[in-house]
Amino acid sequence: MTILDYYKKELIKLKDQPPKKRWEYIWEYYKIHLGVMLLVLVLLIHGIVNICTHKDTVFTGVLINTTLTADSSSFMEDLRDHMDVGKKEQISFSTNIFMTNQSADKAVALQSIMASITIKELDMVTGPAEAFQICAYNASNMFADLRDYMDAAQLEKHAERLYYIDGAILKKLNAPVGTQVDLSQLVYPDPHKPEMMEEPIAVGIDVSDRTEFIAAYFIPEGRHYLGMITNTTRPETVLEFIDYLFP
């Protein structure tokens, strides 16, 4: 008997059965088949939904010690228009990282940021002066030297805003165990006076007076800085964001 003949015979059996008996018969003999079909259908729908809703991330940032506000959506929409971000693309800013000078807070926050950097999923970090200094000096080479990416016009425009760290101090902090300096005795130089440093590196830019940005993310009063991640795969996008903040 062929498979087709078999199913014809089964249909004849069911034809004269009441609906309840038909269902009991189908469930008894075909429940595994129905389960497999249902599973395939669920997986198919899940795959279609993922394909239809998936968005490519074109720019990412961690905004330390910030909170979303009523202005966040309009700021993001304007930024998307400026960067010509498509419907299937997204910009992702994380506002769930909080950092203070307390050792526990510092360690947890740095680990979270470094995890994103390790898998190359982070383009920039912004933060208040204290947090930015922690990132710049306590995480080896977190930030790129902006002088390697900005052109002459940009460097001239932002000369007074650049945030510097001393590479000589960074080397001491990242020296082999047993040869590191006593952190309690360490004095960090003024980040806006590169002439007072042995090896000045421009790792950030002051964005404290960018009112739209401040309002959109409830950024606390005081100096606030932006830094480009060393291993970002989208340095041009970070520069485009800086240009957006400083039209």
Give the model confidence (pLDDT) of 96-122 as tens digits: 899 887 767 788 888 889 999 998 999
- In degrees and rounded to multiples of 5, residue 120 shows phi and psi of 55, 45
Q: What is the pLDDT of residue 177?
A: 67
CA distance 33 to 197: 74
Shortest CA distance to 142 belongs to which of 217, 64, 196?
64
Strand-strand pairing, 124-128 and 224-228: antiparallel
CB 222 within 8 A of CB 128: yes
Task: Specify burial of residue 105 (Cβ count, 10 A radius: 0-12, 13-18, 19+).
Answer: middle
Token pair of 175 as six digits: 């020296």
What is the residue-level pLDDT of the chain in tens, covering all 247 positions?
Answer: 565 555 566 666 666 666 666 666 666 666 666 667 777 777 666 666 555 555 788 999 999 999 999 999 999 999 999 999 888 899 999 998 998 877 677 888 888 899 999 989 999 999 999 999 999 987 668 999 999 999 999 999 999 999 999 999 888 887 776 666 666 677 889 999 999 999 999 999 999 999 999 999 998 889 999 999 999 999 999 999 999 999 9
Q: What is the pLDDT of residue 14?
A: 60
| 39-54 per-residue burial string, b: 16 or more CB within 10 A, e: under 16 | eeeeeeeeeeeeeeee
Give the model confidence (pLDDT) of 188-218 as tens digits: 899 999 999 999 999 999 999 999 999 999 9
